[in-house]
Chain A
C-alpha cells in the first residue's frame, strides 16, 4: 500500500476505529466495511486455537477482498435463499486493547495491532445464536485513514460443531 504514513494514531483513535467497524457491520453497511480493508487485506477465522497457518491448516474463513466482495454481493442477491428473510447481527465489544507486543505493532511504520473480546449474536427468523471470541486487528495507517490489513476472529468454540454463520463477526 503506497501513501504517506500519518502522524501517529492515538490509542483513542484506534479504539474508536474498532467500535465504528463493529457498528458498520451491525448496520449492514457492508460496502463501506469492505472499503476499510487494504487491497491485500484478509478476514480470517481460524478453526483451531493458536493457529498460525491459514494456508495448510483448515480455517472457518480465510477471505481476501475478492471473496469478501462475493460474500457481500451475494447477501444482496434476489436468489440468495438463505437470506430470505435476512439475518441480523449484534456486536458487544469489551474495551479494545492496544497490542504493543504483537509483531505487527510498529507505530513508526503506521502499523497497529488492536484486540477486542466480543460477544456476537446472529439472528434469523426465530433462531438466535450467541458466539464469543476475540477479534485481533492488524491496522495500517495510510493517507490519514486507518485500513484493515487483517481482521482475525478467534471463536472460543472454534472447533465445535457449529450451525451456519452467515454474517461477519
Chain B
C-alpha cells in the first residue's frame, strides 16, 4: 500500500488512543511529512538576535528545506529558500554571516537582494529579455511569504495557503511571552553557543518525550539518582551545588509529576508543569528579583517568575523552557535520524549567573555528553529498532484517556495524562493531509 495521495490511509494511522508504527519507521510517511506536515504548520526558523544588522543571515532547515533567514535593509526579517534560481546551488553556506547588500552565488555570480529578488547577472545580453522575464529564475531566490516574528522568535509556513499564525498558535504563545518577560528589559539574545547532536530515531520520539512525565524517575534514575546519592555523602551544611539543584528534581516521584499538571492547547501545542515543575526551586540569583521588580512592579514580577512551566511543545518540532531559557529544535533528517539543536538565551539586563545556570543545565541535560541524554537516547534508539518488529502494530498513548477530550482545548489536566501526546497526533493527522488532493475536511476530531 502506498500512502502517497492516500489521506485516508494516513489518517487511519492515528486512532484515539494508539498510533501506528509506520509514522515512526516508514520512509514514505517521512517524505510526506516533509512535503505536507512541515509545509502546513508554522515551523520555527531562528531568533531575531541571530541577525541584528541588515545583511546578517543565518542558514538552517525547515523540515528538509534549506533556507536562509536574513535581515533585509528595511529592518524586516526574510526567510528565503537557499537555492540559486539559475543552477540550483545553495547560495549561502556559512551558518552565520553578513551578506552586505546582496547575496552572490559562488557558481556564476548571479546576485540577489536580501529579499531574494534578482539584482544582477553577468553577461545578461546572452538572454532574450522576454524569455528571461518569463522564466522562474527571473523571480530570484524564492521568498517564504508567510514569515512571522513574534517577540524575537521567527516562524514560517512554507505552504502559501493555510492556517494563520494566530489561529495556529492560539494561547500557546504565552510560554514565549513568559520567557521574554523574564528579562527585565523584555528582550532575549541567543547566547553561549548551540549544542548539536544526532540520534538514530524518528523526530517524533523526541517530541513525545517532552510531555512524557512517567519516564524521568525510570530512565534518569541512573543519572539524577546517582547525583543525589553522591551529594548525600557531602558533609552536612555544604551548600547544595548548582549542578545538584539541576539534576535532583528529575527523580521526583510520580505524585510530583501528577500534581504539577499539563496544559493542553490546540493544534498539538501543550506544556507540562502548570502549578509546579522541576524548574521551580533553584536558588535565587542575587540582584535578579530586584531588577525584575524595578522593571515590572512587585506583583507582576512575582507573577512572571512564579510561572515555572516545564516543557512547552510547539508542534511540530520545538520545545521551549521559559524558566531556564532553552529551546530545542528536533530537526528531521530521515525516518530514523534526527538532529537535535539545543539553544540557550541570555535574559538581557539580568545577572550573568542566570546564563551560567542555563548553560550548565544545557550541557548536563541536553548534550551529546549528557548523562541524562545518554539514557534518553538509549530508549529512543531501542524504540526505533523495536518498532521494526511486525509482532505488534501500534504504539499506546491511552493513559488517562477521556473520549470527551476530543475537540477541547486550553485545559489543565493530570500531569501524567497522555492527552498532550494524543493532541500532537491528532494535529499530525490533520496537518499531514490538509493539503492533499482528495482529503476530506476532517475537522471532526480537533476543530
Contact = CB atoms under 8 A, between A and B. Distances in A.
Interface in A147-169: 159-166
Interface stretch (A5-13, A22-30, A55-63, A89-97): A55-63
Contacts of A81: 219, 222, 375, 378-379
Interface stretch (A68-76, A106-114, A134-142): A68-76
A60 B375 contact: no
A60 B371 contact: no
Interface in B36-59: none
Interface string B229-250: 1110010000001011001000
A164 B374 contact: yes
Contacts of A59: 359, 363
Contacts of A62: 360, 363
B374 A161 contact: no
A82 interface: yes
A55 B374 contact: no
B362 interface: yes
B196 A161 contact: yes
A20 interface: no
A70 B194 contact: no
Interface string B343-370: 0100000001001100110111001110
Q: Interface of chain B, helix or strand or loop or mixed?
A: helix
Contacts of B367: 60-61
B152 interface: no
Contacts of A67: 243, 364
Interface residues of B, number: 44
A38 interface: no
Nearest to B340: A161
B227 interface: yes
B282 interface: no
Contact of A166 (B194, B219, B374): B374
Contact of B368 (A48, A60, A73): A60
Contacts of A73: 226, 229-230
A55 B356 contact: yes
A101 interface: no
Contacts of B378: 81-82
Interface of B: 191-199, 219, 221-223, 225-227, 229-231, 234, 241, 243-244, 247, 339, 344, 352, 355-356, 359-360, 362-364, 367-369, 371, 373-375, 377-379
Interface of A: 45, 47-48, 55-62, 64, 66-67, 69-71, 73-74, 77, 79-82, 159-166
26 contacts: A55-B359, A57-B359, A58-B359, A58-B362, A60-B368, A60-B369, A66-B244, A67-B364, A70-B226, A70-B230, A73-B229, A73-B230, A74-B222, A77-B221, A77-B225, A79-B222, A80-B375, A81-B375, A81-B378, A82-B375, A82-B377, A159-B196, A160-B196, A161-B198, A162-B196, A165-B369
